[in-house]
Structure 1
C-alpha cells in the first residue's frame, strides 16, 4: 500500500530543510529521528496502522509488523507474573510502559494484575497511537494515564517492549581503514550529480551509486569523526555499524528518576562481542513495511519503520554506571518459560499454541529477542537481593 504523497512529500521537505540548515549534512541519528517522530509526518506520528498480524492486501490487514503482545495474550500474562513479583519486592504499585504501541500489552498487564496496579502510566510521543490506546484501555478509566515526558521522580515497575530498537542510532563506517560517521545528504539530480558533493572533507558512500532524478531521495555521506565502536573490530575490511547514545541515555535517565522499582526491557539484539563481530560488517539497521524487510532507510521516508538491533552490553553498562543493579539478562524464550508462559497450554486451541511457539522458538522470536532487567540500588532504596523470576534459569549476564 502506497502512502499518499501528502504524507511523504512534506516530511522529505522538512528533512531537506534540516540538511540545508546544517550545512548540507546531518547525522543518521537525526535523520532517523525525523523520519520516525516528526509531528504529524513521521512514521510513528502519523495516523496509520503499524501493528498487527496481517499486512496490506489481506482482509483485516494493513499493518507493517507484529509485536509479541499481538501474537498472543500469553506474552503479557507471562510478563505480568514478573511484574507482580517486582511490585511486591520493591513495595510499589505503579507500572510505567514506554512506547505502548497498539495498547495490547497494557491491556494484558492490566487484566492480569488487576488491583495490584494503582496507576498505569504510558509514555508515548505519538498522538495518534495515544488515541488508539485510550480507546482500547477506556475500561480502566483513571487508572491509566498518559504523559509525554518523565517527572523528576517516579517509582514502580517500568516495561518497554521493542522500545530501544526504535531509538535513533549513529552510524560509523570504517572505509579504507579510516573510521567515519555516516550521515545523510540530499541526492543530486541526474543532471547535476557530477557537481553535487558532500560537505568539505566528506565522501558519498553506498547510496551514492543510486542516482535518482527527483528531489525526495537522500544519500549517505561520510564525515571524519573521533567516534569509535566500544570494541575494536578486527580486520581492515570496510565495516558499517551503529552506536547507541540515545538508548544508553534513556537508561541513565530512568536510573536518575526511578526512586524505587525495577525495569524490564525486551528487544532484539546481542551482547557487545556479538554485535561488533568482524563478520557483522553491514550493520543492523533495517526497515519494516507490510511485514517485509529491507535495508534502505533512505527510501520512502516516513512510509516504513526504521530500527537497529540493541547492544545489550552498552545498555547494561549504562544502567550500572547510573546506579541500577542488573537483575539479569536472557533470551525471550527463557524469560517467558521462567514466567510460566506454557502453563495450561494443553487446554488451549491449536492456533494459540502456534502463536506461543513463535514467541519461544529459536528460529522465530525466542532467541533473537532478549530481556534485560534492572532494580533500583541506592542509599535511599537499597537493592534487597531478590531473584527475579524471569532470570531464575538461563541467566546470561556473564556474557554481557
Structure 2
C-alpha cells in the first residue's frame, strides 16, 4: 500500500511493529470502503481509526498520554500536567456529591489513571463520602495502566475502583469526562458557492484520500443552513458527541455530569474566520491536519461545539448546571489556594507547580480555549465553581 503521501518528513517514523499495525488498519478500512461502494463518510473513518478493536488509536497499544515525544506519547492533558488539576477538580465534585446526596463517581476515558488517582486522594482528604469510582474505557492496555497508577498513587482507595464494560441503565452520582468529547467522531462538510458537500474517504491509487459528495439529506441540509455559512468553508458536525451527551444525561437519575474540553459555543464555532474547520491530529507532540498519517498511531480530534452539547443534555431532561472557561472554573474552585500550599522558598517544587498552574489558567494556554460544561438532576442552585463567570447565556 502506498501511504507515502501521508508520511510528512517533519514527523518521526514509527517502528516496524507499529507501522505494521497501521498498515493492517488501512487494509481493514480500505475493505470497508470497497464494501460501501467506494466512499465512506468521514465519521466512520474516524471511528475506525480511533476505535477499531486492537488496531485503533484508543483501542490499540500506543502510549498516547505523556509530557514529551521522547516518552512515546502524542499529547499532554491537564491531569498529566499537574496534580493540582485533580486536587482542584475534586472540590466541585465533592460539592456535587453532597448536594445530590449520592455516593458514586464514574469517569470516561481515564487515560493513564492519573486523574482518577488524584481525585480519589483529594476527595478522601476533603472528607467526601463516596462508595465507588467506576471507569469506562475501551482500551485494555489503558485499563492496565490505570490500575497500576491507582494502586501506586492511591493504594488505600484502589478497592473502590472498578472498570465497566457496559453502562448501567441508571446512575446516581457524579460523572467526569476530561477530553472525551473531542475524541468523538465528527462528520465533515465543505461549502463552495451555494452548495454543501459531505466529505468522505476513498481509497485512491493505493492511498486514503478525501472525496466530497453533494448533501442530499434534507435533515443535513437544514442543519448546515442554520450555521449561516457563506463562501468557501470546511467544518464539522457533532452527532456522536451529542448522542453521547444524551445517553449520559438520560442515564443520570440523580447527580451531575462534568465535561472538560476545548471548543466554542455555536456562534463562535461557525465563525467566518474558522473556514478550515477544527479537525486536528496529534503525533509525538506535533499537531498537523492530515488524518491519513499513520492511521491508528495518531490522535484525531475536533473542537467541541458546546451549544449542541448543551441542547442534547437539556433535551434528555437534565438541567444545565453551568458552562464557563477552564480558567474561571479552576479559579472559582480554589486552584490558587492549592498552589499556596507549596513553599515559594522551595524553588524545586514551587516553580514547576506554578508554571503548570499558569498553563492551566492562562488565556494564552489552556485557560480560555478549554471549557467546562456540567449537567445535573436533583441539585438545587449551582456550585461554587460556576458561581462567578458562568457563560451559559452565551450558548
Partner of 2:195: 178
Q: Cα 1:344–1:176, aligned 2, differ >3 Å: closer, same or farther?
A: closer
More helix by percentage: 2
CA distance in 2, matches of 1:300, 1:72: 30
Q: What is the Cα deviation at residue 37 of structure 1?
A: 0.7
Q: Report the more deviating stretch, 219-228 or 239-248.
A: 219-228
CA–CA distance in structure 1, aligned partners of residues 356 and 367 of structure 2: 12
Match of 2:93, SS state, is helix
Structure 2 partner of 1:315: 309
Deviation digits for residues 377-399 of structure 1 (CA, Å, limit 9, x no counterpart): xxxxxx34222121110000000
Structure 1 segment 187-226 matched on structure 2, within 5 A: 187-188=204-205, 215=206, 217-225=207-215, 226=217
Aligned equivalent of 1:2: 13
Seen in structure 2, the aligned counterparts of structure 1 residues 79 and 315 have a Cα distance that, compared at 3 Å, is same
Residue 267 of structure 2 aligns to a residue whose secondary structure is helix
Instruction: Give CA deviations for 1:209-250 in whole Å, capped at 9, x if unaligned.
Output: xxxxxx2x2111112223144564446311111110111011
Contact 2:88–2:330 at 8 Å: present in 1 too? yes
Partners of 1:67 and 1:40 lie apart in 2 by: 23
Which residue of structure 2 lines up, in the alignment, with residue 279 of structure 1?
273
TM-score of the pair, normalised by structure 2: 0.89
* C-alpha distance in structure 2 between counterparts of 1:90 and 1:236, whole Å: 46
Q: Which runs of 5+ in 1 are unaligned?
A: 189-214, 377-382
Partner of 1:132: 145
Q: Cα offset for 1:142?
A: 2.8
2:48 pairs with 1:34: yes
Partner residue in 1 for 2:327? 333
User: What are the superposed Cα offsets for residues 25-80 of structure 1, whole Å, 9 maximum, x if unpaired?
Assistant: 11100000100111111111121211111112xxxx22110000011111011110
Query: What is aligned with 1:102?
Result: 112
Is the contact between residue 234 and residue 278 of structure 1 (CA under 8 Å) also seen in structure 2?
no
- Answer whether contact 1:285 1:308 (CA < 8 A) is retained: yes
Q: In the alignment, what sits opposite 1:373? A: 374
Over 3 Å counting, the alpha-carbon distance change for 1:281 and 1:150 in structure 2 is: same
In structure 2, the residue corresponding to 1:146 is in which secondary structure? strand
Q: Secondary structure of 2:175's partner? A: strand
Please say if 1:267 is aligned against 2:261.
Answer: yes
Please tell me whether residue 79 in structure 1 is matched to residue 79 in structure 2: no
* Aligned residue pair count: 363
CA offset at residue 7 of structure 1?
1.2
Residue ranges of structure 2 left out of the alignment (5+ in a row):
1-11, 343-349
CA RMSD of superposed structures (Å):
1.4
* Alpha-carbon distance in 1 for matches of 2:184, 2:166: 15
Residue aligning to 2:232: 238
